[in-house]
Amino acid sequence: MKVLPIVGVAVLVATSLPAIAGDASHGKDLFAATCAKCHVITAEGDPDMVGPSLKGIVGRKAAGREDFRYSSAMRKSGITWSQKDLKEYIPNPQAKVPGNRMALTKAFEPSEVDDLVAYLETLK
């Protein structure tokens, strides 16, 4: 019985597949329960909110909204928000952009971060 070649092919196929995408529906629920305390998802920002609107965040330059006063750290970050950047930022904002003002109040599991980013990607 030649099991070894079959296992090798299975490993090759598994490692060549793209990563499983997050669940945008669950991400929407997570956003409502956690992020919506500080952020809106409307085209216009809300001056009463602590954070900027996240509508269109994917592909937007960090500190790119004119209707929000960003920290100097965020303005100087040079980031254009990609899926990768958001996945690094959400679980640990200070590690990604030291000195920014985002106060994270929840520790997210990696799958929750994937779900949040999948939801943020829908906010075009």
Q: What is the pLDDT of residues 84-121, one digit of tens each?
A: 999 999 999 999 999 999 988 889 999 999 999 999 99
Q: Is 80 helix (H, G, I), strand (E, B) or coil?
A: strand
Report how far residue 55's alpha carbon sits from residue 32's, in angstroms, rounded to the nearest whole number: 14
Q: Which CATH number fits domain 32-120: 1.10.760.10, 3.20.20.70, 1.10.3720.10, 1.20.1250.20?
A: 1.10.760.10
Report how far residue 72's alpha carbon sits from residue 63's, in angstroms, rounded to the nearest whole number: 9
Encode 91-104: b = buried (16+ Cβ within 10 Å), e = exposed: bebeebbeebebee
Q: Is 12 helix (H, G, I), strand (E, B) or coil?
A: helix
pLDDT range class, residue 41, cuts 50, 70, 90: very high
pLDDT range class, residue 20, cuts 50, 70, 90: low
Specify the pLDDT at position 105: 81
Specify the pLDDT at position 19: 55
